[in-house]
Amino acid sequence: MPDQTIRILLVDDEVINLENISHFLATKGYIVETAANGTEAVGKLSHESFDLVITDLKMGDMDGVQVMHATKELQPDAEVIIITGYATIDSAVNAMAQGAFYYLPKPIKLKELHTFVQKAMEKTLLKREITRLQQRIKAKKGVTQFVGHNPAILRLKDSIAQFAQLDCNVLITGETGTGKELVARTIYELSPRSNRRFLPINCGAMTEELMLNELFGHEKEAFTGAAKMRKGLLESANGGVVLFDEIGEMPIPMQVKLLRVLQEKKILRVGGTQEIPIDVRILAATNRDLLDEARKGDFRQDLYYRLNVVSLHIPPLRERKDDIPLLVNHFLAKYSTPEGSIRSISPEALLRLQSYDFPGNARELENIIERSLAICGESDVDAHHLPAELGNYQSYQTPPPQPDQNLGQPQSLEDNEREYILSVLQSVDGNKTQAAKIIGIDRVSLWRKIKRYKNKGHDVDKYLQKKE
């Protein structure tokens, strides 16, 4: 008796054949879905999972070869058996050359069909076992790209390897520069969806109108200039993983639409009337305290709980300074010369780096090493090659407290980020283009953050350059 989870899609425009074969396979313990034509079959393949497709070759709207190609595109691991009349055996042989598992001539001998179903399943199960073993190897090797032996990082690596296998939403938190997208990409690479698309979307880089069109697409003539239908990003990533970076920047109206996508697993194109089913795994990343934002009404609480099925927090670099030497050596190797010679760093320079709190975290350390290597030429990195602000970073890392600050409470992620961004703006005389490059975000995202700081009453004008 086969595993009850084995699902077969049977496609034939002859009702009698559908009923006979479906009944026979069901008696053998398989779960059988039927489709009366190729179009219906592709629709089912788009939102249901199958292990095997058995399709007639000659059908009215779409032939069996087209169904096979659609199967290989939508569900690459599924095998395809083609049923054909004697007069079309040459076509069936050609179909096998294009990827079909086997062909069977009509009239169908049910015992023979069962034999080839079993053989197809043996091949599928073998492929799955190979994939499972590859995933285990990747799970051990993949997380090694997180450099560090700090206990918090080791726990993070274990959690990534564990949660990658669960097809659930994940909320990734951490300060700017800690590597939230790297965590998301690793989850994707270790997940069963790694053979499909990974799509990062920066919520802070798009207006509400642009985000609506980009995420959901539009129908032809939905608005002026919409000359043809356009699929949205969510639809194009069907079967894959989507990362909503800076999810806290998403406007409230878009949060409502995203919540509906998470609940219904369907989207509606702009100007459209027909809902489209999608299957994507959602990851979200933020440097803000979303629960606090939800309590203040700046983020939807129901969306927060939908996203926070599993949470991963990346510790800031100042809390794992024991990893700085490992990170420094990693970046020295990364930016080695074309000849391959890896330069070293002096003990004094390393000590200065370890005494710095890195408000920009690992991304800031990487920028410092890259810049220092450019300055030092062919020599090793010494203390005088490091940025001058490392010697007196406390002057802007811990500014005098404002009257409304509660000194008894630790600073939030957003407070730390704001101080870092304003300190960078101050160090480059308010040049937003240069500041955005140093911070590692685009200029639009920086502008949106500055605007939010102003709206919350922070004096940021003194950090800005009037003309660039």
pLDDT of residue 312: 96
pLDDT at residue 3 greater than cutoff 50: no
Mean pLDDT for 440-455 is 80
pLDDT at residue 159 greater than cutoff 70: yes
Pairing of strands 276-277, 266-267: antiparallel
Confirm if 183 and 163 have CB atoms less than 8 A apart: no
Q: Which two tokens stand for residue 382?
A: 């010494």
pLDDT of residue 178: 93
Mean pLDDT for 182-208 is 88
pLDDT at residue 405 greater than cutoff 60: no
pLDDT of residue 404: 42
Q: Which fold has domain 316-398?
A: Helicase, Ruva Protein; domain 3 (1.10.8)
* Residue 419 identity (one-letter amino acid): E
Is residue 216 left, alpha or beta, with left meaning phi > 0 and alpha meaning psi from -120 to 50? alpha
Mean pLDDT for 180-186 is 92
10-14, 50-54, 425-429: segment of lowest average pLDDT: 425-429
Q: Which fold has domain 7-131?
A: Rossmann fold (3.40.50)
Helix axes 413-427, 432-439, angle to 10 degrees: 130
pLDDT of residue 125: 80
The larger pLDDT score, comparing residue 334 to residue 171, is at: 171
Confirm if 387 and 367 have CB atoms less than 8 A apart: no
Domain positions in the chain are 7-131, 146-313, 316-398, 400-468
pLDDT of residue 23: 92
Residue 311's pLDDT band, with cuts at 50, 70 and 90, is very high
Q: How many residues does the chain have?
A: 468
367/445 Cα distance (integer angstroms): 19
Burial (CB count within 10 angstroms: exposed 0-12, middle 13-18, buried 19+), residue 52:
buried
pLDDT of residue 406: 44
pLDDT of residue 337: 64
Confirm if 261 and 278 have CB atoms less than 8 A apart: yes
Q: Do 7-131 and 146-313 show the same overall fold?
A: yes
Residue 134's pLDDT band, with cuts at 50, 70 and 90, is low
Task: Indicate the average pLDDT of the chain.
Answer: 83
142/157 Cα distance (integer angstroms): 9
Mean pLDDT for 257-262 is 94
pLDDT of residue 140: 52
Give the tens place of pLDDT for each residue, 62-81.
Answer: 888 899 989 888 888 889 99
Residue 411's pLDDT band, with cuts at 50, 70 and 90, is low
pLDDT of residue 89: 62
In terms of CATH architecture, what is 146-313? 3-Layer(aba) Sandwich (3.40)
23-37, 90-104, 154-168: segment of lowest average pLDDT: 90-104
